[in-house]
């Protein structure tokens, strides 16, 4: 089918790009900066400048609450999306964690399942792949290889970590191997049964199927290969006309097999200026704008002030009702006191009668 194509001009060459799993935000690495756009209206929400060299990779957690960035400055940063959206346009929020244990540029990032409790893997040209805990920022595992690592991914159960090397090899690392060691060396000669061999140039991307049985890999040798993880055999090879930079396995959308299915609305053009700084005279600028956490700019009562005012009104109304019913309450109290005195008299008469019956002498 002929689909509507749209060319969106970015502020500079895009070195990495990702979308949040909930489909609300787009992240792009442009030079040393991270650009955050809102998909629905194309507003540029934030520009993050905390890396010192060009970005190489970006990824979100599965719940879209955090995202990770890696760059040629050997740093991997963990960002809280809520804090980024809360920050004023003039402020640059601080990342939640700064991972600086790599000694050469970061080449790839991968985040497991669990939202902020997930584990993330980083790959680097320093011939290591490292596994981290997103919540605490602690280093859980570091694996040293014979070659620089260009790609890394985890299977769904996070039982294995797959690392793609510069020489075309793909290494399978068992994360549950015993004994548990934080620093480990992957020796290819000794672990020959855990290496996928077939690519003739560096592996650029890796993806594992949902059931954990298949591995997809792309390489600069202009091929994409599908592997059986159990046997390490290549099941299929797909040739391309140039180096493969990205490939991944994704569940097919439900409307893919519907011949009438097509996008109902094209994406808006992404803004090149921060939201709130561009001129409001631009066409299409009208509409409702929502931004989390910012204080109200125009005078007026806040939600809490309105709640306090309503509570004060309810409290004063209750007091008025009590004062107005004072006479009615006095009458009720006198009636109740009279009833209590009558009940006491009846109780005393019953006690006296019972006493006479019990103490009456037998004939």
Q: What is the DSSP string of 294-327?
A: PPPSS-S--HHHHHHHHHHHHHHHHHHHHHHTHH
Does the pLDDT of residue 331 top 60, yes or no? yes
Topology of the domain covering 14-252: Methylamine Dehydrogenase; Chain H (2.130.10)
pLDDT of 123: 97
Please state, in angstroms and rounded to a whole number, the distance separating the CA atoms of residues 234 and 198: 8
Q: What confidence score (pLDDT) does residue 338 get?
A: 87
Name the band, by pLDDT with cuts 50, 70 and 90, for residue 321: low
User: Is the model's pTM score more than 0.75?
Assistant: no
Better pLDDT: 1 or 4: 4
pLDDT surpassing 50 at residue 296: no
* The pLDDT value given to residue 8: 81
- pLDDT tens-digit map of 207-259: 999 999 999 999 999 999 999 999 999 999 999 999 999 999 988 877 777 77
Asked if the model's pLDDT at residue 306 lies above 80, the reply is: no
List Cα–Cα distances, 298 to 126, 285, 301, 302, in angstroms: 53, 19, 10, 10
Question: Rounded CA gap, 259 and 247, in Å?
Answer: 25
* C-alpha span between 76 and 192 (Å, rounded): 30
Q: What pLDDT, on the 0 to 100 scale, is given for residue 163? A: 97
Q: What is the DSSP letter of 346?
A: H
pLDDT reported for residue 304: 63
pLDDT score at 11:
84
Query: What is the DSSP-derived secondary structure letter of residue 338?
Result: H
Cα-Cα-Cα-Cα torsion 279, 283, 288, 292, nearest 10 degrees, comes to: -40
Q: What percent of the chain has pLDDT over 90?
A: 58
Across the range 338-354, mean pLDDT stands at 88
DSSP code of 329?
A: H
What 227-230 contacts at long range (C-beta under 8 Å, 24+ apart), as own/partner pairs, is 227/170, 227/196, 227/198, 229/155, 229/160, 229/172
How far is the C-alpha of 169 from the C-alpha of 185, rounded, in Å?
16
As a whole number of Å, the end-to-end CA separation of the chain is: 116
242: left (phi over 0), alpha (psi -120 to 50) or beta: beta
The per-residue pLDDT for 285 is 46
Query: CA triplet 109, 162, 50: central angle to 5 degrees?
Result: 10
Q: Mean pLDDT score of the chain, rounded to an integer? A: 85
CB 68 within 8 A of CB 76: yes
pLDDT attached to residue 294: 42
Asked whether residue 297 carries a pLDDT value surpassing 70, the answer given is: no
pLDDT at residue 303, as a whole number: 56
Judged by DSSP in three states, 218 sits in strand
pLDDT in tens, 141-196: 999 999 999 999 999 999 999 999 999 999 999 998 877 789 999 987 777 679 99
Distance of CA 305 to the CA centre of its chain: 33
Interval 255-267 mean pLDDT: 71
Question: pLDDT: is 2 or 40 the higher one?
Answer: 40
DSSP state for residue 174 in the 8-state scheme:
E
């Amino acid at each position: 089918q002929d689909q509507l194509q749209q060319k969106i001009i970015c502020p500079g060459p895009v070195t990495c790009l990702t979308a949040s799993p909930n489909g609300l935000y787009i992240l792009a690495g442009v030079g040393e900066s991270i650009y955050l756009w809102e998909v629905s209206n194309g507003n540029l929400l934030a520009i993050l400048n905390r890396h010192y060299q060009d970005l190489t990779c970006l990824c979100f957690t599965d719940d879209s609450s955090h995202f990770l960035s890696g760059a040629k400055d050997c740093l991997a940063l963990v960002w809280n999306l809520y804090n980024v959206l809360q920050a004023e346009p003039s402020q640059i929020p601080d990342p939640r964690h700064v991972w600086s244990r790599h000694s050469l540029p970061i080449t790839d990032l991968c985040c497991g399942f669990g939202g902020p409790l997930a584990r993330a893997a980083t790959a680097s040209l320093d011939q290591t792949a490292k596994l981290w805990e997103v919540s605490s920022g602690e280093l859980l595992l570091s694996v040293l290889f014979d070659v620089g690592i260009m790609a890394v991914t985890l299977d769904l159960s996070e039982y294995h970590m797959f690392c793609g090397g510069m020489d075309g090899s793909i290494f399978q690392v068992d994360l549950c191997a015993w004994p548990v060691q934080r620093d480990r060396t992957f020796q290819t000669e000794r672990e020959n049964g855990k290496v996928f061999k077939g690519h003739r140039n560096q592996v650029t991307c890796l993806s594992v199927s949902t059931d954990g049985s298949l591995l997809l890999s792309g390489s600069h040798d202009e091929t994409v290969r599908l592997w059986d993880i159990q046997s390490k055999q290549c099941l299929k090879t797909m040739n391309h006309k140039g180096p493969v930079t990205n490939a991944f396995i994704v569940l097919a959308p439900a409307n893919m097999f519907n011949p009438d299915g097509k996008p109902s609305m094209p994406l808006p053009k992404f803004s090149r200026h921060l939201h709130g700084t561009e001129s409001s005279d631009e066409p299409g600028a009208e509409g409702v704008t929502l931004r989390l956490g910012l204080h109200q700019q125009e005078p007026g009562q806040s939600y809490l002030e309105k709640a306090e005012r309503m509570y004060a009104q309810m409290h004063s109304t209750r007091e008025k009702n009590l004062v107005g019913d004072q006479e009615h309450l006095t009458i009720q109290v006198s009636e109740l006191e009279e009833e209590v005195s009558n009940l006491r008299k009846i109780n005393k008469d019953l006690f006296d009668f019972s006493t006479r019956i019990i103490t009456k002498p037998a004939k």
